[in-house]
Structure 1
C-alpha cells in the first residue's frame, strides 16, 4: 500500500495512541452535567444568547440545550467561539461533553461534520481527543477518508511531538486503509520544517515522488521558505530550479519568499530584478501582489535608495494597485530615517486620512523632523499631523499624545 511504504520509511515509533470507544466517552462526559434545559423553540435568539453569555457553565448549558438546533450546530462561528471560550476558562470537561454528545446525533455520521469536531478538539489543545475521534468514526456509523485523516494529522502536528506523529503515520493509514495524498504530505513537511528538521522534510518529498505522489507548488514553497529562513540559499535555489524543471510553476507566494530572502540580505537590486521578471512573464499564473511591491520598496529603503523606492512605488500605482497600510508604514518609516520629511508628511497625511496610522515612534520621528527644520510651513505640517493624531479611533494612549504635544512645543 502506498501510504504504508511511505510511513515505514519515516514513521518507526511504537503505537502510542489508543482508540477510545464512543460509548465510554459519552458515559464519561455525561458525568459533567445532565440536568440541561430543553431547547428553545426559537432558533435565531439562541445564537445571540451564545454570543453574549460569559459564564462558562451557563454557556455550556445553553449550547447543550441547543444540541439539536441546526441553526446553532451548523453555525461554524458559534461552535468555534463556544469551544474557544470554554478552553480559555479551562473547562475542557465541558468541551468533551459537548463534542462527544454531537457524535451520537445524526450529524455525527457526516464526515465533514466530524472533521469539524476534530479541528475543534485541536483548537482547544485536546490532541488525543482529536485523534481518538478519527479512530472511533466507525463506532458511530461515519465513513472515514483521507480528508478526516488529514484533519487529525494536522491537529497532531501542532503538538510538535515527533514520536506521536511518526506513530500515527506508521499505524493509522495501514489500520484503516487510508491512502495518503499530497495534502497529507504537505502537512508533514510543514510540521518538520517548523520543527527545524529540514533534511527529514526534504526526504519526505523525495519519497513521495518515488511512491507516485507528485509534489505541488505548496510542497516546494514550504521547503524553499524553510531553507531560506535557515540561511541555506544554495538548497533553496536548488529546489527552485528542480521545481521549474519538473514543470511546477512558482506562484506569487514562492516569488515573495525568494524576494524576502534577498531583501533580508541587502540585495535590493536583485529583488527588483525578480519583480521585473514577474511583471514581464505573463505565463506565470499570478502577477506581483502588494506583498511583492512592499518587500522591494522596503529593500530599497533599507539600502538607502529612497529614489528607487519611490520609482517602485510609482510602478505599483501604474499597475492599478492602491497602497495598503503596510506599504504606507514602510514608506513613511524609511523616509523619516532618510530625512525626507516633506515626502514622509505627504504620505503620512494620506495614510492617516484613511485611518491607517504608522507606529507611534514613526510619528515621533516625523514630528521631530518637521519641527527641527524651523520653517513655518514645516511647523504647520507638524501641527496638521498632530491634529489627525488626536482624531484617531481608537485614540492613542494619553501619555503618547502628551509626548507628541511636547515635541511640538520644544524650541
Structure 2
C-alpha cells in the first residue's frame, strides 16, 4: 500500500508539474489543474488531472476547476466520465460526504444537462449518506434544472420537494424559481410567488426585483415593471439600486430601445445614483447593435473620461462594430489601446480590421498591428504570418 501511494504521488505530481521535483501546495495544484484543463480534451486525462489536484468544493478555485472539468466533459459528450468521477469522489473521499459537496455535484450534473443524475444524487445523499437535505441542496437541485433549462422540472421540484422533505424555501429558492419563470416566458406567475413569499414571511431582495424585471422586459410587459417597482417600494421599502438600473438598461438595449435606456441612465444620475462601467457597457453595446456608432463612441469616450474601467468585452464590441461599418481607422485606435491592456479581439474581427486597413491604403498600420499581436499573443501566430505574407509589399 505504501509503495502504491508513493507511486501515485509521483504520478500525480508529474501530471500537474512535470518539471518540478517538490510537492505542490494545494493552491498550486489547483492552479496547475486549471491551466491543464483549459486545453485538455481527453476524458481520462481530465479525470486524472482532477484526481491529482484532490479538488474540494471548500475552495473557490477548486470549484472553478471542477466546473471547468464538467464543462469540458459535457462539451465532448463524455457524460459517463463525469458520472464516474462524481461517483468515485463520493465513494472514496470521506471528506466529501457532506451536503456541501453533494450540492456542488448536483450543480455539476446540471451543467451537463444530466437532471436524472442530479435527482439521483439528491436521493443518494439522504438514503445512503444519511444526510438530511436542507434548503441548500434543494436550491442546488433547482439551480441544476435551471442551468439545464428544464423549467418544467424547476416548477415540479419547487412545488413537491419542500413538502416531501419538510424543507422551508428561502429567498434564494424563490429567486431561482422567478428566474426560471423569466427565462421560460412565464412571468405572469411572478406575483403569485411574491404572495407565497409573504405567506412564508420571506422578504424579497434586489435579486428578486432584478430577476422579475428581466423577465417582464423579455415579454415586453412594461406596465408590469412599474407595478413591481411600486409594490417593492410600498410593501417592502425596497428601492431600485444600481444593479436594478443596470438590468433595466440592459433589457431595453436588448429590445433595441437604447434611447430609452439612455434616458433611464440619465435619470438615474439626476437622482444621485452613480453609474458604473456595466451601465456604460450595456449602452455602448445597445447603440452599436442599433447602428448608432457616433453615440456609442461618445459614451465610450465619456466612460474613459470619468475614470471607469473599460473591460475587454467593451473594447471587442467597439472594434467589431466599427469594422462592420467600415470605420477602420477608429477601430485601429481602439484595438491598439485594447492590445496595450493585454486583450485582443478574436481572430475574425482582427482579420477584418487588417483587411480593412489594407483596403484604405493603410498597409503599414496593418503590418504594425499584426506585429503587435504576434509579439504579445502566440496563439494564431502561424495564421497571422500567412496573412502578413499576403499583404502588399513595398
> 1:225 is matched with which residue?
214
TM-score, reference length from structure 2 = 0.72
Determine if the alignment matches structure 1 residue 380 to structure 2 residue 364: yes
**Matched residues, number:** 363
Q: What is the alpha-carbon root mean square deviation over aligned residues?
A: 4.2
| Contact 1:336–1:369 (CA under 8 A) maintained in structure 2 | yes
The correspondence for 1:312, drawn from 299, 315, 319, is 299
Determine if the alignment matches structure 1 residue 276 to structure 2 residue 266: yes
| Contact 1:325–1:351 (CA under 8 A) maintained in structure 2 | yes
3-state SS of paired residue (1:91): helix
CA distance in structure 2 between the partners assigned to 1:83 and 1:271 by the alignment: 37
Aligned-residue offset at 1:302: 4.9
Identify if the C-alpha distance between structure 1 residues 232 and 382 changes in structure 2 by more than 3 Å, giving closer, same or farther.
same
Aligned-residue offset at 1:165: 4.1
Determine if the alignment matches structure 1 residue 214 to structure 2 residue 198: no
> 1:127 is matched with which residue?
115
Identify if the C-alpha distance between structure 1 residues 61 and 222 changes in structure 2 by more than 3 Å, giving closer, same or farther.
closer
| Contact 1:83–1:95 (CA under 8 A) maintained in structure 2 | no
The correspondence for 1:351, drawn from 328, 332, 338, is 338
CA distance in structure 1 between the partners assigned to 2:147 and 2:92 by the alignment: 24
Report Cα offsets for 1:45-75 as digits up to 9, x if no partner. 74665857997679879988x9xxx955566
Q: Which runs of 5+ in 1 are unaligned?
A: 1-34
> 1:289 is matched with which residue?
276
Identify if the C-alpha distance between structure 1 residues 156 and 354 changes in structure 2 by more than 3 Å, giving closer, same or farther.
closer
Report Cα offsets for 1:150-177 as digits up to 9, x if no partner. 1223224445555544443344322332
CA distance in structure 1 between the partners assigned to 2:199 and 2:267 by the alignment: 33
1:102-113 to 2 correspondences below 5 Å: 105=94, 107-108=96-97, 110-113=98-101
Determine if the alignment matches structure 1 residue 153 to structure 2 residue 137: no
| Contact 2:142–2:154 (CA under 8 A) maintained in structure 1 | yes
| Contact 1:44–1:71 (CA under 8 A) maintained in structure 2 | no
> 1:94 is matched with which residue?
84
CA distance in structure 1 between the partners assigned to 2:355 and 2:42 by the alignment: 49
CA distance in structure 1 between the partners assigned to 2:386 and 2:294 by the alignment: 34
Determine if the alignment matches structure 1 residue 243 to structure 2 residue 232: yes
Mark the structure with the bigger radius of gyration.
1
Q: Which runs of 5+ in 2 are unaligned?
A: 17-32
Aligned-residue offset at 1:347: 1.8
